[in-house]
Every structure is written in structure tokens, then in C-alpha cells.
Amino acid sequence: MSVPILSVHNLDYKYTQAPVLKNINMDIHEGAFVGLVGPNGSGKTTLIRLLLGIQRIQSGNIELFGTPIQKFKKWNKISFVSQKANTFNKGFPATVYEVVSMGLTSKKGYLSFFTKKDKEKIIAAINSVGMGDYVHQNIGDLSGGQQQRVFIARSLVSDPELIILDEPTVGVDTENVERFYNMLSRLNKERGITLLLVSHDIGTITSYVTDLLCLNKTIHYHGDPKTFQQKSDEELSNFYGHSMHSITHQH
């Protein structure tokens, strides 16, 4: 198999005395669409922040594209979409085009001008999330789900190889959540972009992801989502905690 694009070995982490992550070991290979699930406080966001270098690792190690995170410099290979990105108010003075173009300025620097090719890229990214009709609309006038699609477009213009999304569909209605996951699935299948998606919605994401990762301080399951769903209630509660059964059997 190819070198994993993301690899975690023996990772432990604590903010204070109590460990938040314990003995995390995982590999994510190119082309995977990984769903990361776990109850509130199970360490999902902490793990993501460590993977993105926002928080420093304390013990164990992380390799990104084969390079130890301490030496990793090619951050433009990785994009991040957070739940909190979704905070534009009505009247925020930026159009969809301008918001998406910000995904390039971080790569090019704020004072550089966009070339024709950059502009085409920005429009292509907007089209790929189905927001082509809204290019010149103000971002604040869009619905939450539409805004979130714009943030995905922003994360796409820099041509990332890996997109990490931390609960991007909070506040998005069911129909648009399905659309959103379909869009992610297309990016994964058609453009080969590797995805790591944090979600509480295990019942829905199992039909989209290639790998399911269940975290509760430590990794309780990493593998085929269908095998996970076939497990008995007892096994599921051992893996995950009691809140799990009804959710996994929704579909």
C-alpha cells in the first residue's frame, strides 16, 4: 500500500491532568473518506487541532505526507473547514466570490493580484459546490447550508489533497445535509481528495464514508462502516457508550 498521507503513532494528550486522548494510532491513506465520530468531549476536535498543528503534540508522533509534523511545511496541501466558520452576519460586506478568493490569498499573500487563471479557479470552485448562481451575492444573505458550501469552495481553491472538516453541517437542514455529503463524496471520488469528516450524524455518514473512526479518548473502531453497523447493540455500547444504538440503526 502507498505511504499514508496522515499517520498517528502512540499519541497521548492532556490539557490538565486528565488525559483527553490516549494511545491514538491510525493511518489515513490517499483517497479515503474517513468519518470521525464520538460523543461530546471524546477528543475529536482536540485530535483535529493536533493534526493541523494548532496545538503542539506532547507525546507520540504525527506524520503528514510522510513528514513528521514538526518539520512539515506544505500546509497548502491541507484545508480545514470548521463549524465556527459559519458566522457571517447579514450585511457582512463580502460576496461569495470574495470569500472564496480568500482561500487563495493565504497562499499568495494579501497584496498580490489575482491572475486570470486564479479567477477561473475561484469560479470553478464555486461551481463545484453548486453555488454558481450566487457568485456576486453577499455571503451574509445566504442560508447556513449555502454559506457552508461556500466555505468548502474556499477550502478547494488552494487545490488541497486533504480536507479536514469539523462538524461542518451543524445547523444545516436534513435535505441540505444529504446534498452536502453527496458533494463531499463527489470531491472524493472524482477529484481524489482525501477527506476527514467529524460528525455526530453516524446514521447518515455511514452511507458515504469509506472508513469509520470511532473515538472516545482512544480509538474504539477503525474500519468499514458497514461492518460497524452490523455489530450487536452490546458490542456497539462497548465500543462507544450507550447513546449509540438508536442512532446507528436509523437507516
Ligand X SMILES: Nc1ncnc2c1ncn2[C@@H]1O[C@H](COP(=O)(O)OP(=O)(O)OP(=O)(O)O)[C@@H](O)[C@H]1O
Give the binding site for ligand X (CB under 6 A): 15, 20, 38, 40-46
194 binds, among ligand X, Mg ion, none (CB under 5 to 8 A by kind): none
What is the gyration radius of the CA atoms in the chain, in angstroms?
Answer: 18
Q: How far is the CB of 214 from ligand X (least distance, A)?
A: 11
Q: How far is the CB of 132 from ligand X (least distance, A)?
A: 32
Nearer to ligand X, 99 or 163 (CB): 163
Nearer to ligand X, 128 or 206 (CB): 206
42 binds, among ligand X, Mg ion, none (CB under 5 to 8 A by kind): ligand X
223 binds, among Mg ion, ligand X, none (CB under 5 to 8 A by kind): none
Residues numbered 89 to 108 that lie near Mg ion (CB under 5 A) are none
Q: How far is the CB of 108 from Mg ion (least distance, A)?
A: 31
Residues numbered 36 to 65 that lie near Mg ion (CB under 5 A) are 44-45
Q: Long-range contacts for 173-182 (Cβ within 8 Å, ≥24 apart)?
A: 173/145, 176/143, 176/145, 177/145, 177/201, 177/204, 178/204, 179/130, 179/145, 180/145, 180/148, 180/149, 180/152, 181/205, 181/208, 182/208
Q: How far is the CB of 233 from Mg ion (least distance, A)?
A: 26
**φ, ψ for residue 26 (rounded to 5)?**
-160, 155
The three grid cell numbers given for residue 144, joined into one nine-digit string: 447556513
Q: How far is the CB of 188 from ligand X (least distance, A)?
A: 23
225 binds, among ligand X, Mg ion, none (CB under 5 to 8 A by kind): none
The three grid cell numbers given for residue 234, joined into one nine-digit string: 452490546
# binding residues, Mg ion (CB under 5 A): 2
The 3-class secondary structure across 212-231, one letter per residue, is EEEEECEEEEEECHHHHHCC
Nearer to Mg ion, 44 or 121 (CB): 44
160 binds, among ligand X, Mg ion, none (CB under 5 to 8 A by kind): none
213 within 8 A of 37, measured Cβ to Cβ: yes
Nearer to ligand X, 40 or 232 (CB): 40
Q: How far is the CB of 40 from ligand X (least distance, A)?
A: 4
| C-alpha dihedral sign at 43, 45, 50, 56 | negative
Which residues are within 8 A (CB) of 42 and not within 5 positions of it... i.e. 6 or more apart? 215, 216, 217
Residue 122 CB neighbour total at 10 angstroms: 25
Nearer to ligand X, 69 or 99 (CB): 69
Q: Residue 144, SS3?
A: helix
Q: By the criterion CB under 5 A, which residues form the site for Mg ion?
A: 44-45
